[in-house]
Structures are given as C-alpha cells and as structure tokens.
Amino acid sequence: MYKHVVITGGAGFVGSNLTLEMAKRYPEAQLTVIDDFRSGDFKNLEGYKGDIIAADVSSINLKHYFGGKKVDLVFHLASITDTTDHNQFRQVHDNVESWRNLLDYFAGRKTRLVYASSAATYGIAAGINRIEQTPKPANVYAFSKVQLDNLARAWAEENKTQTVVGLKYFNVYGPRESHKGAAASMMIQLARQMRRGEHPRIFKDGEQKRDFVYVKDIVTCTILAARARASGVYNAGSGVPRTFNDIIANLNRVLKTDLPPFYIDNPHVHYQPHTEADLTATTAALRYKPKYTLETGIDDYFASGFLE
Ligand SMILES: NC(=O)c1ccc[n+]([C@@H]2O[C@H](COP(=O)([O-])OP(=O)(O)OC[C@H]3O[C@@H](n4cnc5c(N)ncnc54)[C@H](O)[C@@H]3O)[C@@H](O)[C@H]2O)c1
C-alpha cells in the first residue's frame, strides 16, 4: 500500500516503535528515518533495514533527498521532548521550523502527513481533555506544539486534496524509552528505583490521575491516522486515567517486590491533577480503540525486557 514512508524522530522512543512496526506491516515499503540524535539513540533501531538521514528537520534540504521521488506518507515525530528545556528560541525554532519545512516541501505532492502534537497543549486544566478546548500551554514546549496545530490547520485549508492529521499524545510508556532519562515515563523511572530496592518516590498523595497510554496503542493510532479521510487533530490516549499509586501497585506485582511509595511534597505550583483523553472524535474518525489497560500494558512492557 505504501511505497515510500518518511519517519522523522525515528531514533526516538515512539518513532522507533513506529518505524519497527511499519517495517513489519509493510515489508515492501521503503522507509527513511530522519533524526539528528539530539535525544534519540541508535540502539532503538536494532534490526532496522531502511535508510537513515542524520539531519535536523528544521534545516534539512528536503529537495536534495526527496526531489523527483514520490513519498506517500510522512510521520513527523521529531521534536525537542524535554519539557524542562526552557530555551524559548530553541524550542519554538526547532519544533516549529521543522514542521514548516515539511509542510512547505510536501504541499501539492499527494503526500499524507501525520504529526505528533501533545496533550501538554491543554495546560493545567483539570478534567476530561476535549479536542475542542482552547489550548492553554503552560510551558514553551507546549506552546510550540500549539503552533504545529495552527500551521497544520492553515495548511489543510490551503491543501484540500491532501490530509494532515495531528495526534495529541498523552503520557506514553513502553519499550525503547530508556534514553529519555528524566523525561522518560514514570513507569521506567519508578521501576528503576524499585529494582535498586528503594521506595518509589512520588508526590503526595499519589492519587493524581494521568492518562497513561501504552506505546503499542499509540503506534496503532498513529498508523490509523495515516488513513484518515480528512484532516484534523485528535486525542491519542487510553481514555482511562489512573493514579501514580496504581502504577506502583502494578510495578510491585510484576517486579515481585513489596515497596510502598515514599510520598514527597510537590514543589510545582502549576501541576496537572488530572489528565484524561476524550477519545470520542478519535474513535469516530480513525477507528482507534485502545487495546491495553494499565495492567496489561505494564505486563507487556515487563515481558519485553525493556523495563529496566
Ligand atoms: N512520549 C510521550 O509521552 C509524548 C507525549 C506527548 C507528545 N509526544 C511527542 O511525540 C513525539 C515523540 O516523542 P518521544 O517520546 O519519542 O521523544 P524522543 O525524545 O525519544 O524522540 C524525539 C526524537 O526526535 C529527534 N529530534 C528532535 N528534534 C529534532 C530535529 N529538529 N531534527 C531531527 N531530529 C530531531 C530526537 O533525536 C529523538 O530521536 C514528539 O514529537 C513528542 O513531542 C510524546
């Protein structure tokens, strides 16, 4: 079905899982990863047989690499993902110009585009996150993602025969995230503490809820988005918020430990008490239905050998 697929950020956490799944599902397709390895890791692409271009998407000369070649689909996941990087110029420049470069080049070429937005665009508002909500970015990373959505909306208006789909990923966890360090999911960070025999440290009282979503569901959703009939932006989560205490209970179960949480004061004034993806539009437009619960997601993660 696809002859040539480009995946930016393919050496990263979600990007590498997506790349390896695309290689499995479409063995005949030519895959090209673009990544500058600022946070990604070559080890994530073990077994990958496609092409790789080590370059910054915000400045790459796309014509040089893709001129005269047909690209059916672009998955754009490359992004600064450390939300604690407060360098406003770097975050906005690198994230926004990467997207503009791709949109400009692939306009009028029949290429479909899917890009990673973020639930961070909702800000610190508690409750169910609905796609029609006005964005309230609380940091410059989230602000840059709002600009991606704005650019995509304007581009879709101008390029009605092409589709561009944005996905607001919630809290993703799963294999191939260990390179992210402090920006990795709480699953791997808490599991590391527990494997060392330490009490897992979380903010008081551990009952804050997050929409944690397993990476295999996110990969499925992202691949479904490539077949959307129309352009749009959708939530990509599990639809079921769970507490940090729930994570620790499940980690104790799979790691066969019995380490109760050690509660610490939350130093953040602005802290999301609850995130929850409303998946109504995602299910209707993309036919996405998450398969993994927190329990089965953590089971699968543990069985993969990557939860360490
Ligand atoms: N993991 C999550 O929970 C989550 C949540 C919301 C949104 N997202 C979005 O999903 C996407 C993937 O995130 P991830 O968790 O896999 O993070 P990651 O840091 O593992 O992956 C990002 C990849 O992009 C590359 N990169 C960054 N800027 C680049 C540039 N200008 N040019 C080329 N390569 C560049 C990095 O080297 C890395 O390999 C990102 O767009 C991120 O904002 C992730």
From the candidates 141, 173, 234, 292, give the one annotated as an active-site residue: 141
The pLDDT of residue 271 is 79
Distance 257 CA to ligand 1 centre (A): 32
Residue 37 Cα: closest atom of ligand 1: 37
Q: What's the pLDDT tens digit per position in 157-169? A: 999 999 999 999 9
Full set of structural domains in the chain with CATH: 4-172+212-239+276-291 (3.40.50.720), 175-210+241-270+295-304 (3.90.25.10)
Instruction: Name the pTM for this structure.
Output: 0.98
The pLDDT of residue 126 is 74
From the candidates 180, 214, 216, 301, give the one annotated as an active-site residue: 180
- pLDDT value at 124 more than 90: no
Residue 6: phi, psi to the nearest 5? -105, 135
Residue linked to tokens 């008490």: 273
* 141 is known as an active-site residue: yes
- pLDDT value at 270 more than 80: no
Question: Measured on CA atoms in the order 124, 125, 127, 129, is the torsion positive or negative?
Answer: negative
Q: Pocket of ligand 1, candidates 13, 84, 180: which has the most ligand atoms within 8 Å of its Cβ, to mutate?
A: 13
CA torsion, ordered 143, 149, 154, 158, to nearest 10 deg: 150
Q: What's the pLDDT tens digit per position in 52-94? A: 999 999 999 999 999 989 999 999 999 999 988 989 999 999 9
On the CB side of 107, how many CA atoms lie within 13 Å of its CA? 15
Task: Give the residue among 180, 169, 173 at the shortest CA–CA distance from 118.
Answer: 169
Residue 68: phi, psi to the nearest 5? 80, -5
Distance 252 CA to ligand 1 centre (A): 29
H or E stretch covering 20: helix 13-25
205: preceding bond cis by omega (within 30 degrees): yes
Pocket of ligand 1 (CB under 6 A): 9, 11-15, 34-40, 56-58, 77-81, 94, 98, 116, 118, 169, 171-172, 180
Q: Pocket of ligand 1, candidates 33, 45, 81: which has the most ligand atoms within 8 Å of its Cβ, to mutate?
A: 81
End-to-end CA distance of the chain: 37
Task: Dump strand ranges (E) for 126-276.
Answer: 164-169, 171-173, 201-203, 209-210, 212-214, 232-236, 242-243, 262-264
